[in-house]
Amino acid sequence: MGCMGASRGQSAVVGYVMVIGLSLAVVGVVVAVGAVAIADVEESAQANQAESAMTQFDSTAAEVALGESPRQSIRLGQHGGSGSVEVDESAGEITVTWIDEDDNETKIAEDQFGKVVYESGDRTVAYQGGGVFRAENGWSKMVSPPEYHYRDRTLTFPIVKVEGDTSGASPGDQFTISESEFDRHFPNETHSNPLEGGHVHVEVTSDYHHGWKQFFETRTEGSVTHDPANRTVWVNLTVPFEEQFANGVATTSNDPDAVYTDGNASGGFEDSVTQVDRPSASPNVEERISHCESEDCDDLNSTPLDNGTYYADNDTSLSGATYDTSDGDIQVVVDGDLELAEDQHNVTGDGKVTFYVNGSVSVSGSTEVNPDGSPGDVVLMMHTDAGNITVNGQAQFTGYIYAPGSELEILGGGNRDNIVGAAVVERAYSNGNGKLVHEPDEDFEFELDRETISYVTYLHVTENRIEVSTADN
């Protein structure tokens, strides 16, 4: 019995020890986990405080950079707070270029941004180009947008460049932001608004390229390209292009013999020019097709056609029809080949009929399109990869053709003017009496308007320098 009692006593002691040990282990784990959690919370709070401070710095710097105040002072944190604040004048590069429709480049601005960096642990928050960006683990995001404003086809871009020295500074120090030099890059004595044709190319190389990409994608509607390997992002903003149809036929091929007549001397093309540069109509055609695929466009087989958009999603033969534009313009969208078949296609009213075709177009036999109207009543636009335009026999077309990637063929022709108006095509060929008569329309306005691309007509680019310093620098 004595031995058995001793065993029970030892078991109780061991049990107590195990319980105490387990409790201490749990407490240790809780303390360790709690310490990590507290550290994470503190680090997150510091990062949020840095973002808030740099956003305030951004607002204060904007007053100086944009001429509202010659000098401002600010503190980014409390005395004794962790972190550092430094100016790097050589950080980041910006290039702004205008490339006209003939691919001539005008360098508008090319310079370094500089930056003000608030570092706290593994995270940094930086002011660059008039915006604030946060970086962590090789990734960056936009906190507040740069000074870059696009409205009503006007792009205003004050490039804020940072200069100065804050080496050894901490967030609790008082920083002074002073105005420095100001340069006007566009417009200036050499270049003026409005822009005509081409596009504006804005390119940024920065450690915060992910954030700049986010900015361009969310704050502009231009075409954005990102090259992470080279820390570069760029956006193209299109300049509106207006076609005047100043020549009977203008060809985009580099071949100087792209306009060719084979046959009767009475045929051919009036007032031709070769080797011109014209933007593709493909985006316009694709946008119209996409719109009709997602919206309720009218059936193209319904006649007569009045104001509105009519759609066919396959090859279509459209017989003689009346296009009544009295109440507004008419758009005919064909995702396939289009044949304008026998009989007359008459346009009435003061509006315009525009064909958007993703395929070949043929006008043959005795078909007459807009025979009693003016060329500005009808515009044919074709996708670059779609096909060719063929006008056969006694067929007649009064209107303008914009198809810079297609070939125009006029075959036969009899004793009449097969095309009255003008054409922009890749190549033009006539056979026999096939003939195009140039007839400009001074009241006609034709602009390649793309709904998904930002247009820039007026450009204002300046370089606004600010100097950042502390009392000790």
Q: What is the per-residue pLDDT for 15?
A: 57
Residue type, 109: A
* Residue listed under structure tokens 């007649």: 396
Q: What is the per-residue pLDDT for 241?
A: 76
Which residues have CB under 8 Å from 152's CB, separation 6+?
none
86-107 confidence digits (pLDDT tens): 999 999 999 999 887 677 889 9
> Is-cis flag, bond preceding 187, omega within 30?
yes
User: From the CB of residue 108, how many other CB atoms can be counted at a distance below 10 Å?
Assistant: 21
Q: What is the per-residue pLDDT for 17?
A: 53
User: From the CB of residue 25, how many other CB atoms can be counted at a distance below 10 Å?
Assistant: 10
* Residue environment code for 370-402, b if the CB has 16+ CB neighbours within 10 A, otherwise e: beebbbbbbbbbbbbebbbbbbbbbbbbbbbbb
Q: What is the per-residue pLDDT for 197?
A: 75
Name the pairing type of β-strands 105-112 and 115-120.
unpaired
Whether 164 contacts 461, CB under 8 Å: no
Whether 197 contacts 214, CB under 8 Å: no
Q: What is the per-residue pLDDT for 39?
A: 41
Whether 103 contacts 212, CB under 8 Å: no
> Is-cis flag, bond preceding 375, omega within 30?
no
Q: What is the per-residue pLDDT for 21?
A: 63
For the record, the structure tokens of 43 come out as 């680090």
Starting at the edge strand that comes first in sequence, how are the strands of the sheet with 123-128 ordered? 84-88, 115-120, 123-128, 131-136, 139-144
Q: What is the per-residue pLDDT for 10?
A: 52
DSSP letters, 49-67, are HHHHHHHHHHHHHHHHHTT
| CA distances (Å), origin 394, targets 69, 97, 140, 341, 380 | 73, 49, 65, 12, 19
Starting at the edge strand that comes first in sequence, how are the strands of the sheet with 154-165 ordered? 71-75, 174-186, 458-470, 154-165, 149-151
Tell me the sheet residues that pair with 1.
none
**Ranges of the chain whose pLDDT falls below 50:** 1-4, 6-8, 30-33, 35-42, 452
